[in-house]
Amino acid sequence: MLPYPRIDPEIFRIGPLSIRWYGLMYVVGFLSAYLLVKRELLRLGEARRITRLDSLLFYLIIGLVVGARLGYVLFYNLDYYLAHPLEIPATWHGGMSFHGGLLGAILAGWLWCRRHNEDFFFWADRFVLPAPIGLGLGRIANFINGELYGRVSQVPWAMVFPQGGPLPRHPSQLYEAILEGPILLAIMWRARRKKWPSGVQLAVFLISYALLRFLVEFFREPDPQLGFVLGFLTMGQILSLAMLIAGGLLFRWRLTAIQQVG
Protein backbone atom coordinates (compact mmCIF):
# COMPACT_ATOMS: atom_id res chain seq x y z
CA MET A 1 0.00 0.00 0.00
CA LEU A 2 1.20 3.51 -0.82
CA PRO A 3 0.56 6.52 1.40
CA TYR A 4 -1.84 9.06 -0.03
CA PRO A 5 0.11 12.30 -0.60
CA ARG A 6 -1.85 14.97 1.20
CA ILE A 7 -1.64 17.98 -1.09
CA ASP A 8 -3.59 21.08 -0.08
CA PRO A 9 -6.31 21.60 -2.76
CA GLU A 10 -5.85 25.33 -2.20
CA ILE A 11 -2.66 26.69 -3.77
CA PHE A 12 -2.85 30.07 -2.05
CA ARG A 13 -5.35 32.61 -0.81
CA ILE A 14 -5.45 36.38 -1.09
CA GLY A 15 -8.16 37.69 1.21
CA PRO A 16 -11.43 36.08 0.13
CA LEU A 17 -9.91 34.94 -3.18
CA SER A 18 -8.82 31.30 -3.20
CA ILE A 19 -6.74 29.78 -5.99
CA ARG A 20 -7.26 26.02 -6.11
CA TRP A 21 -5.61 23.27 -8.13
CA TYR A 22 -8.92 22.29 -9.71
CA GLY A 23 -9.54 25.77 -11.09
CA LEU A 24 -5.93 26.09 -12.24
CA MET A 25 -6.24 22.84 -14.21
CA TYR A 26 -9.28 24.24 -16.02
CA VAL A 27 -7.36 27.41 -16.92
CA VAL A 28 -4.35 25.44 -18.19
CA GLY A 29 -6.65 23.16 -20.18
CA PHE A 30 -8.40 26.08 -21.89
CA LEU A 31 -5.10 27.85 -22.58
CA SER A 32 -3.64 24.66 -24.08
CA ALA A 33 -6.72 24.29 -26.27
CA TYR A 34 -6.35 27.85 -27.53
CA LEU A 35 -2.67 27.49 -28.38
CA LEU A 36 -2.97 24.07 -30.04
CA VAL A 37 -6.03 25.01 -32.08
CA LYS A 38 -4.26 28.19 -33.21
CA ARG A 39 -1.25 26.08 -34.22
CA GLU A 40 -3.49 23.70 -36.16
CA LEU A 41 -5.17 26.56 -38.01
CA LEU A 42 -1.78 27.87 -39.10
CA ARG A 43 -0.70 24.39 -40.20
CA LEU A 44 -3.85 24.01 -42.26
CA GLY A 45 -3.49 27.42 -43.87
CA GLU A 46 -6.59 28.73 -42.07
CA ALA A 47 -5.00 31.84 -40.54
CA ARG A 48 -8.10 33.90 -41.35
CA ARG A 49 -10.09 31.82 -38.88
CA ILE A 50 -7.76 32.67 -35.97
CA THR A 51 -9.55 36.02 -35.55
CA ARG A 52 -12.69 34.11 -34.56
CA LEU A 53 -10.97 31.75 -32.15
CA ASP A 54 -11.44 33.94 -29.05
CA SER A 55 -15.17 34.24 -29.63
CA LEU A 56 -15.64 30.50 -30.16
CA LEU A 57 -13.55 29.58 -27.12
CA PHE A 58 -15.67 31.86 -24.95
CA TYR A 59 -18.82 30.06 -26.12
CA LEU A 60 -17.22 26.68 -25.46
CA ILE A 61 -16.10 27.61 -21.94
CA ILE A 62 -19.59 28.76 -21.00
CA GLY A 63 -21.19 25.71 -22.59
CA LEU A 64 -18.77 23.31 -20.94
CA VAL A 65 -19.12 24.73 -17.42
CA VAL A 66 -22.92 25.07 -17.57
CA GLY A 67 -23.30 21.67 -19.22
CA ALA A 68 -20.98 19.98 -16.72
CA ARG A 69 -22.95 21.35 -13.79
CA LEU A 70 -26.40 20.60 -15.24
CA GLY A 71 -25.18 17.16 -16.30
CA TYR A 72 -24.20 16.37 -12.73
CA VAL A 73 -27.53 17.67 -11.44
CA LEU A 74 -29.59 15.63 -13.95
CA PHE A 75 -27.52 12.45 -14.20
CA TYR A 76 -26.08 12.04 -10.71
CA ASN A 77 -28.07 13.82 -8.01
CA LEU A 78 -31.44 15.03 -9.34
CA ASP A 79 -33.47 14.28 -6.19
CA TYR A 80 -31.15 16.35 -4.01
CA TYR A 81 -31.19 19.37 -6.30
CA LEU A 82 -34.95 19.24 -6.75
CA ALA A 83 -35.14 19.55 -2.98
CA HIS A 84 -32.37 22.21 -2.85
CA PRO A 85 -32.62 24.21 -6.13
CA LEU A 86 -30.52 27.09 -4.79
CA GLU A 87 -27.56 24.68 -4.68
CA ILE A 88 -27.61 24.15 -8.45
CA PRO A 89 -25.35 27.12 -9.31
CA ALA A 90 -23.03 26.39 -6.34
CA THR A 91 -20.28 24.78 -8.41
CA TRP A 92 -17.75 25.53 -5.66
CA HIS A 93 -19.40 22.78 -3.62
CA GLY A 94 -18.33 20.23 -6.22
CA GLY A 95 -20.25 18.19 -8.75
CA MET A 96 -19.37 18.37 -12.46
CA SER A 97 -20.12 15.80 -15.16
CA PHE A 98 -17.82 15.27 -18.14
CA HIS A 99 -20.64 13.94 -20.31
CA GLY A 100 -22.78 16.95 -19.46
CA GLY A 101 -19.88 19.28 -20.17
CA LEU A 102 -19.32 17.63 -23.53
CA LEU A 103 -22.98 18.07 -24.49
CA GLY A 104 -22.87 21.70 -23.35
CA ALA A 105 -19.72 22.43 -25.35
CA ILE A 106 -21.14 20.74 -28.47
CA LEU A 107 -24.36 22.72 -28.22
CA ALA A 108 -22.52 26.00 -27.61
CA GLY A 109 -20.16 25.29 -30.52
CA TRP A 110 -23.05 24.46 -32.83
CA LEU A 111 -24.87 27.68 -31.90
CA TRP A 112 -21.70 29.72 -32.50
CA CYS A 113 -21.08 28.08 -35.87
CA ARG A 114 -24.67 28.67 -36.92
CA ARG A 115 -24.46 32.32 -35.91
CA HIS A 116 -21.18 32.89 -37.75
CA ASN A 117 -21.90 30.62 -40.72
CA GLU A 118 -18.98 28.33 -39.90
CA ASP A 119 -18.49 24.58 -40.44
CA PHE A 120 -19.28 22.95 -37.09
CA PHE A 121 -17.40 19.73 -37.85
CA PHE A 122 -14.27 21.61 -38.94
CA TRP A 123 -14.07 23.34 -35.58
CA ALA A 124 -15.09 20.26 -33.59
CA ASP A 125 -12.23 18.30 -35.17
CA ARG A 126 -9.80 21.02 -34.15
CA PHE A 127 -10.90 21.18 -30.51
CA VAL A 128 -11.02 17.45 -29.77
CA LEU A 129 -7.27 17.30 -30.40
CA PRO A 130 -6.24 19.25 -27.25
CA ALA A 131 -9.22 18.08 -25.15
CA PRO A 132 -7.21 15.22 -23.53
CA ILE A 133 -4.83 17.74 -21.98
CA GLY A 134 -7.62 19.32 -19.95
CA LEU A 135 -9.13 15.93 -19.16
CA GLY A 136 -5.86 14.51 -17.84
CA LEU A 137 -5.16 17.60 -15.74
CA GLY A 138 -8.68 17.53 -14.35
CA ARG A 139 -8.23 13.96 -13.13
CA ILE A 140 -5.00 14.94 -11.39
CA ALA A 141 -6.98 17.68 -9.64
CA ASN A 142 -9.54 15.04 -8.58
CA PHE A 143 -6.67 13.08 -7.05
CA ILE A 144 -5.37 16.14 -5.19
CA ASN A 145 -8.89 16.76 -3.86
CA GLY A 146 -9.13 13.12 -2.75
CA GLU A 147 -12.43 12.73 -4.62
CA LEU A 148 -13.74 10.22 -7.18
CA TYR A 149 -11.49 7.56 -5.66
CA GLY A 150 -11.46 3.92 -6.66
CA ARG A 151 -12.95 0.72 -5.29
CA VAL A 152 -11.48 -1.15 -2.35
CA SER A 153 -8.40 -3.09 -3.45
CA GLN A 154 -5.31 -4.90 -2.18
CA VAL A 155 -3.02 -3.96 -5.08
CA PRO A 156 0.42 -2.77 -3.87
CA TRP A 157 -0.26 0.78 -5.03
CA ALA A 158 -3.66 1.09 -3.30
CA MET A 159 -4.15 4.14 -1.07
CA VAL A 160 -6.34 5.13 1.85
CA PHE A 161 -8.18 8.29 0.81
CA PRO A 162 -9.26 10.70 3.56
CA GLN A 163 -12.85 10.73 2.28
CA GLY A 164 -12.95 7.02 1.42
CA GLY A 165 -12.90 5.37 4.82
CA PRO A 166 -10.16 3.21 6.37
CA LEU A 167 -9.76 0.68 3.55
CA PRO A 168 -7.16 1.00 0.75
CA ARG A 169 -8.54 1.79 -2.68
CA HIS A 170 -7.50 2.02 -6.32
CA PRO A 171 -6.13 5.49 -7.15
CA SER A 172 -8.54 5.46 -10.08
CA GLN A 173 -8.13 9.20 -10.64
CA LEU A 174 -4.56 8.49 -11.77
CA TYR A 175 -5.74 5.65 -14.02
CA GLU A 176 -8.16 8.10 -15.62
CA ALA A 177 -5.49 10.80 -15.86
CA ILE A 178 -3.29 8.44 -17.88
CA LEU A 179 -6.06 7.01 -20.06
CA GLU A 180 -7.92 10.25 -20.72
CA GLY A 181 -4.71 12.29 -20.91
CA PRO A 182 -1.61 11.01 -22.75
CA ILE A 183 -3.20 7.84 -24.17
CA LEU A 184 -6.25 9.63 -25.57
CA LEU A 185 -4.00 12.46 -26.80
CA ALA A 186 -1.84 9.93 -28.66
CA ILE A 187 -4.95 8.48 -30.31
CA MET A 188 -6.18 11.91 -31.38
CA TRP A 189 -2.72 12.97 -32.55
CA ARG A 190 -2.56 9.91 -34.78
CA ALA A 191 -6.09 10.53 -36.06
CA ARG A 192 -5.04 14.10 -36.89
CA ARG A 193 -2.72 12.76 -39.58
CA LYS A 194 -5.48 10.89 -41.39
CA LYS A 195 -7.10 12.55 -44.39
CA TRP A 196 -10.60 11.96 -43.14
CA PRO A 197 -13.68 14.05 -43.91
CA SER A 198 -14.66 16.67 -41.33
CA GLY A 199 -16.46 15.26 -38.32
CA VAL A 200 -14.62 11.93 -38.28
CA GLN A 201 -12.03 13.11 -35.75
CA LEU A 202 -14.89 14.14 -33.46
CA ALA A 203 -16.32 10.64 -33.89
CA VAL A 204 -12.94 9.08 -33.06
CA PHE A 205 -12.78 11.16 -29.89
CA LEU A 206 -16.27 10.11 -28.81
CA ILE A 207 -15.56 6.42 -29.45
CA SER A 208 -12.11 6.44 -27.85
CA TYR A 209 -13.12 8.33 -24.73
CA ALA A 210 -16.22 6.17 -24.26
CA LEU A 211 -14.19 2.95 -24.40
CA LEU A 212 -11.48 4.22 -22.05
CA ARG A 213 -14.00 5.63 -19.56
CA PHE A 214 -16.11 2.45 -19.66
CA LEU A 215 -13.00 0.43 -18.79
CA VAL A 216 -11.74 2.60 -15.95
CA GLU A 217 -15.18 2.72 -14.32
CA PHE A 218 -14.60 -0.90 -13.22
CA PHE A 219 -11.91 0.46 -10.86
CA ARG A 220 -13.77 3.60 -9.73
CA GLU A 221 -16.13 3.61 -6.76
CA PRO A 222 -19.71 4.26 -7.94
CA ASP A 223 -21.24 7.52 -6.78
CA PRO A 224 -22.64 6.84 -3.29
CA GLN A 225 -26.01 8.44 -3.99
CA LEU A 226 -26.49 6.19 -7.06
CA GLY A 227 -24.47 3.02 -6.64
CA PHE A 228 -24.81 0.62 -9.56
CA VAL A 229 -27.53 1.88 -11.86
CA LEU A 230 -28.13 -1.09 -14.16
CA GLY A 231 -26.82 -4.46 -12.98
CA PHE A 232 -23.07 -4.04 -12.60
CA LEU A 233 -23.02 -0.81 -14.64
CA THR A 234 -22.44 2.65 -13.19
CA MET A 235 -23.96 5.87 -14.47
CA GLY A 236 -20.60 6.76 -16.02
CA GLN A 237 -20.64 3.51 -18.00
CA ILE A 238 -24.21 3.99 -19.18
CA LEU A 239 -23.43 7.52 -20.38
CA SER A 240 -20.25 6.24 -22.03
CA LEU A 241 -22.23 3.55 -23.88
CA ALA A 242 -24.55 6.25 -25.22
CA MET A 243 -21.47 8.25 -26.22
CA LEU A 244 -19.99 5.20 -27.95
CA ILE A 245 -23.16 4.65 -29.99
CA ALA A 246 -23.31 8.34 -30.93
CA GLY A 247 -19.65 8.27 -31.99
CA GLY A 248 -20.14 5.13 -34.07
CA LEU A 249 -23.19 6.58 -35.83
CA LEU A 250 -21.36 9.85 -36.48
CA PHE A 251 -18.33 8.00 -37.87
CA ARG A 252 -20.48 6.02 -40.27
CA TRP A 253 -22.60 9.02 -41.27
CA ARG A 254 -19.67 11.30 -42.09
CA LEU A 255 -17.84 8.66 -44.12
CA THR A 256 -21.02 7.62 -45.95
CA ALA A 257 -22.04 11.22 -46.64
CA ILE A 258 -18.68 12.05 -48.19
CA GLN A 259 -18.67 8.87 -50.29
CA GLN A 260 -22.13 9.70 -51.62
CA VAL A 261 -21.05 13.20 -52.55
CA GLY A 262 -17.95 11.78 -54.22
Measured between alpha carbons, how far is residue 230 from residues 75, 233, 239 in Å?
14, 5, 12
Question: Which of 204-220 are b and which e, b meaning 16 or more Cβ less than 10 Å from the residue's Cβ?
Answer: bbbbbbbbbbbebbebb
139 assigned to a ligand binding site: yes
Q: Of 104, 110, 107, 109, which Cα lies nearest the Cα of 91? A: 104
**Alpha-carbon gap, residue 99 to 242, rounded angstroms:** 10
Are 124 and 106 contacting, i.e. CB atoms less than 8 angstroms apart?
yes
User: What backbone phi and psi angles, to 5 degrees, belong to 18?
Assistant: -115, 125
End-to-end CA distance of the chain: 58
**Alpha-carbon gap, residue 169 to 212, rounded angstroms:** 20
Which residues, in sequence order, are bridge partners of residue 14? 17
**Alpha-carbon gap, residue 170 to 154, rounded angstroms:** 8
Residues counted in the chain: 262
CA angle (41, 114, 209) in 5-degree steps: 60
CA angle (198, 58, 211) in 5-degree steps: 50
Which residues define the annotated binding site? 139
